[in-house]
Amino acid sequence: MSVTALSPRDLALRQPNWFARLLDYKPFLIVVCLAPAIGLLAVFLTYPLGLGVWLAFTDTTIGRRGIYVGLENFQYLLSDPLWWGAVFYSVFYTAVATFGKFALGFWLALLLNNHFPFKSILRAIVLLPWIVPTVLSALAFWWIYDPQFSIISYLLVDVLHWRSTNIDFLGSAWPARFSLIAANIWRGIPFVAISLLAGLQTISPSLYEAAMLDGASSWQRFRYITFPMMMPILAIVMTFSIIFTFTDFQLVYAITRGGPVNSTHLLATLAFQRGIAGGELGEGAAIAVSMVPFLVFATLFSYFGLARRKWQQGESDD
Amino acid sequence: MTDAVAQPTNVASAAPDTMAWDSRARRMMMIYLPLACFVIILLFPFYWMAVTAFKPNAELLNYKEHNPFWISSPTLAHIQHLLFNTAYPRWLKTTMLVAIGSTFLSLLASTLAAYAIERLRFRGSPYVGLGIYLAYLVPPSILFIPLATVVVQFGLFDSPLALILVYPTFLVPFCTWLLIGYFKSIPYELEECALVDGATRLQILRRITLPLAVPGLISAGIFSFTLSWNEFIYALAFIQSSANKTVPVAILTELVSGDVYQWGALMAGSLLGSLPVAIFYSLFVDYYVSSLTGAVKE
């Protein structure tokens, strides 16, 4: 490094001015370094978070400052079948999609953990659904789910002759719900698979060799070595996946906008519909705040998942 | 393909009695067939997007006479319509501006923050790190309503600047976290040597720490760029005029209109809107994968 070669004469030549000396004063430097990040987060994250909680207790609408109304918004939500519908679908969507993503993603990770040619290219291709803007792939799914020109219907009706009529993917409640879940699973598989693949690669092969010497079958090797060793990383990836699936907005907004007849509203899309499109900021904020208990639950899940990690690596549990 | 199938894996060489499991047909059934299914399903929507984007309308809506999986007479009409009859180039420009602006801002903020937390070590620095990490767990769906009022208060409503300032809320936590990991891997001794030689802290950051953390900076940069290119909910809530919309929002709100959807133009728009991230991603695949997996493992 060039700095190590600085001679005393060089140093004397560039005698630091007062500003440079101030920057060398450690507490000042710490404040300067942290200021941009903390400032941005405080103004655009912490403050809005507090403001959101406050808005949930007011009757603010767009263009009018609200007054404090106590728990009125929440009482209204509890008596609102649409909110209950959104809670039901959010939980259902998260549960089914997370299960699907992890079952298929884990399977894909195990497949990718084998040796075969073009592995790195394949790994790159597999991640594509995850990096492409969700709304744009959601549009492709919308087109795939078209009532008249759906390619899936075409395959089933005209090519395979399994059905006589087109599938109405988005026209009625349950098919629409499952269509959205399928699209979400499609988008989520790559992230799960690539993260779990990284975890799989850290498991020492000697464990498998030892198990095979003891006569363990491939299922037993998976059940007693792979799965327990993957628990910590599974817990973390799953927490992230649950948080971001539960608060999903884009897919539903792009494909159904909550329809048909409000059957596919997630809490986030309902909050958008009431808060921004409908202008009832207070009520929208209350819907958004009602997501928090679920998220806290998911974060606690992550914490205990992380806590498991230490003893599995042979360190003391603190 | 074939020579790799014949190659015994290290599993097989470790225990001869599992050789039967590793026979060629079995391997084909258990690995290549499911893998092929995964790849086909994961890529099909993109193929379908591309096929639709280059199909003339007559073919698009007539499956009886044309095979829908192929294009008999490809056309550029949809892309031409998109580029010359809509504000698509403008939307692309706005999106690019927002993505580059917010990436630059979050890289700057998170590099300094990660350096302070990991290298300047002060009392409570682990807690600051934890706080920034927790910020990552706050999803945009909870924040967009109050943030909309904040943006209005600042007079930034309907301005791309609002997005440039707001996107770092989800970029900074991730980048800081990633860069802390990179800074950790740089030996302290290098900095101590520089300190002994009389370098200032900023010189150390600029001449020693940053050059060694370049892979981390690239990973964080790519991640930020793709995340801000893909962002939707803030852009939908804070931008109103057609000219200032980003590509994902504009396609959904400006191109979807009426009862008959212009599927050709919609898919062409989706394809073009996905290309920049896809190209960017393909150039830096390894950095991307390592940052994704590194962040999960940390």
Instruction: Check B42 against A190: CB less than 8 A apart.
Output: yes
> pLDDT-derived band of residue B2, with 50, 70 and 90 as boundaries?
very low
A103 touches chain B (CB under 8 A): no
Establish how many alpha carbons lie within 13 A of residue B228's alpha carbon, considering only the half-sphere containing its beta carbon.
Answer: 34
B9 touches chain A (CB under 8 A): yes
pLDDT at B15: 46
The residue behind tokens 């809509």 is B86
Task: State the best of B22, B95, B142 to mutate against chain A, taking most chain A CBs within 10 Å.
Answer: B142
Instruction: Check B232 against A45: CB less than 8 A apart.
Output: no
How many whole angstroms separate alpha carbon A175 and alpha carbon B26? 36
pLDDT by 10s per residue, chain A, length 318: 444 555 555 555 555 577 777 777 788 888 888 899 999 999 999 999 999 999 999 988 888 888 888 888 999 999 999 999 999 999 999 999 999 999 999 999 999 988 888 888 888 888 889 889 999 999 999 999 988 888 888 888 888 888 888 888 888 889 999 999 999 999 999 999 988 988 888 888 899 999 999 988 888 998 888 888 888 788 888 888 888 899 999 999 999 888 788 899 999 999 999 998 888 899 999 999 999 998 888 778 766 765 555 545 544 444
**Does pLDDT of B50 surpass 70?**
yes
pLDDT in tens, B258-294: 666 788 888 999 999 998 888 888 888 777 777 666 6
Which residues fall within 8 angstroms of residue B92, CB to CB, at 6 or more apart? B247, B272, B273, B276
Instruction: Check A250 against B232: CB less than 8 A apart.
Output: yes
A289 touches chain B (CB under 8 A): yes
Residue A64, phi then psi, degrees to nearest 5? -140, 125
How many whole angstroms separate alpha carbon A177 and alpha carbon A140? 17
Task: State the best of A29, A130, A132 to mutate against chain B, taking most chain B CBs within 10 Å.
Answer: A132
Which residues fall within 8 angstroms of residue B125, CB to CB, at 6 or more apart? B116, B117, B118
How many whole angstroms separate alpha carbon A285 and alpha carbon B27? 53
How many whole angstroms separate alpha carbon B180 and alpha carbon B177? 5
The residue behind tokens 């998220």 is A295
Instruction: Check A249 against B277: CB less than 8 A apart.
Output: no
Tell me, what's the ipTM?
A: 0.84
Minimal CA–CA distance to A295: which of A267, A270, A272, A274?
A267
Which residues fall within 8 angstroms of residue A39, CB to CB, at 6 or more apart? none
Cα end-to-end span (Å), chain B: 35
Nearest residue of B to residue A309, measured between CA atoms: B297
Scored b (16 or more CB within 10 A) or e, A158-188 reads eeeeeeeebbebbeeeeebbebbbbbbbbbb
A306 touches chain B (CB under 8 A): no
Nearest residue of A to residue B276, measured between CA atoms: A132
The C-alpha of B72 sits at a distance from chain A's nearest C-alpha, in angstroms, of 17
Q: Which of residues 262-281 of A touch B (CB under 8 A)?
A: 267-268, 271-272, 275-276, 281
* Dihedral sign of CA atoms A89, A94, A99, A104 in order: positive
Minimal CA–CA distance to A136: which of B239, B36, B73, B88?
B88
Q: Are A246 and A96 in contact (CB under 8 A)?
A: no
A155 touches chain B (CB under 8 A): no
CA A51 to chain centre: 24
pLDDT at B4: 42
**Does pLDDT of B35 surpass 80?**
yes
pLDDT in tens, B92-131: 999 999 999 999 999 999 999 998 888 887 888 888 888 8
Count of CB pairs separated by less than 8 Å, A with B:
313
Scored b (16 or more CB within 10 A) or e, B85-123 reads ebebeebbebbeebbbbbbebbbebbbbbbbbbbbbeee
Minimal CA–CA distance to B151: which of B127, B126, B169?
B169
pLDDT at B8: 43
A247 touches chain B (CB under 8 A): yes
* Residues on chain A touching B15 (C-beta within 8 angstroms): 209, 212-213
pLDDT at B27: 76
Q: Which of residues 257-296 of B touch A (CB under 8 A)?
A: 263, 266-267, 269-270, 273-274, 277-278, 281-282, 285-286, 288-289, 292-293, 296
Comparing B27 with B87, the larger pLDDT belongs to B87
Nearest residue of B to residue A32, measured between CA atoms: B112
Comparing A289 with B215, the larger pLDDT belongs to A289
Residue B137, helix vs strand vs coil = coil
Task: State the best of B88, B95, B141 to mutate against chain A, taking most chain A CBs within 10 Å.
Answer: B141
pLDDT at A306: 55
In terms of DSSP H, where are the helices of chain A?
A: 8-13, 18-23, 26-41, 47-56, 72-78, 81-112, 119-126, 128-131, 134-144, 151-154, 173-201, 205-213, 218-221, 227-246, 250-255, 267-272, 281-289, 292-312
Q: Are B162 and B156 in contact (CB under 8 A)?
A: yes
Instruction: Check A51 against B146: CB less than 8 A apart.
Output: yes
Burial of B163 (C-beta count, 10 Å sphere; 0-12/13-18/19+) = buried
How many whole angstroms separate alpha carbon B143 and alpha carbon A44? 9
Q: Are B198 and B267 in contact (CB under 8 A)?
A: no
pLDDT in tens, B188-200: 888 888 888 888 8
* Residues on chain B touching A47 (C-beta within 8 angstroms): 150
- Residue A308's alpha-carbon distances to A195, A318, B262, in angstroms, are 18, 10, 52
> pLDDT-derived band of residue B7, with 50, 70 and 90 as boundaries?
very low
Instruction: Check B113 against A29: CB less than 8 A apart.
Output: no
* Residues on chain B touching A118 (C-beta within 8 angstroms): none
Q: Which long-range contacts (CB under 8 A, 24 or more apart) does A109-112 make?
A: A109/A192, A109/A193, A109/A194, A109/A196, A109/A197, A109/A199, A109/A200, A110/A200, A110/A222, A110/A226, A111/B31, A111/B34, A111/B35, A111/B38, A112/A193, A112/A197, A112/B35
Q: Are A252 and B252 in contact (CB under 8 A)?
A: no
Pull the structure tokens for residue A153.
């219907």
B243 touches chain A (CB under 8 A): no
> What interhelical angle do A26-41 and B168-184 show, nearest 10?
140
Nearest residue of A to residue B49, measured between CA atoms: A140
pLDDT at B205: 83
A205 touches chain B (CB under 8 A): yes
- Residue A300's alpha-carbon distances to A239, A241, A306, B136, B294, in angstroms, are 9, 14, 10, 15, 22
Which residues fall within 8 angstroms of residue B264, CB to CB, at 6 or more apart? B52, B53, B55, B56, B57, B60, B77, B78
pLDDT at A290: 92
How many whole angstroms separate alpha carbon A137 and alpha carbon B174? 24
* Residues on chain A touching B277 (C-beta within 8 angstroms): 131-133
How many whole angstroms separate alpha carbon B172 and alpha carbon B103? 9
Residue A64, helix vs strand vs coil = strand
As beta bridge partners, residue A64 has: A61
pLDDT at A11: 52
* Residues on chain A touching B45 (C-beta within 8 angstroms): 129, 137, 140-141, 144, 186
pTM here? 0.85
How many whole angstroms separate alpha carbon B19 and alpha carbon A69? 72
Q: Are B234 and B167 in contact (CB under 8 A)?
A: yes
How many whole angstroms separate alpha carbon B238 and alpha carbon B114? 30
- Region of residue A15 (left: phi > 0; alpha: psi -120 to 50; beta: else): beta
Question: Taking the CB of residue B211, how many other CB atoms lie within 10 A of it?
Answer: 11
How many whole angstroms separate alpha carbon A253 and alpha carbon A15? 60
pLDDT at B264: 87
How many whole angstroms separate alpha carbon A312 and alpha carbon B4? 35
How many whole angstroms separate alpha carbon B250 and alpha carbon A97? 28
- Give the pLDDT mean for B138-158: 90
Residue A102, phi then psi, degrees to nearest 5? -75, -35
A125 touches chain B (CB under 8 A): yes
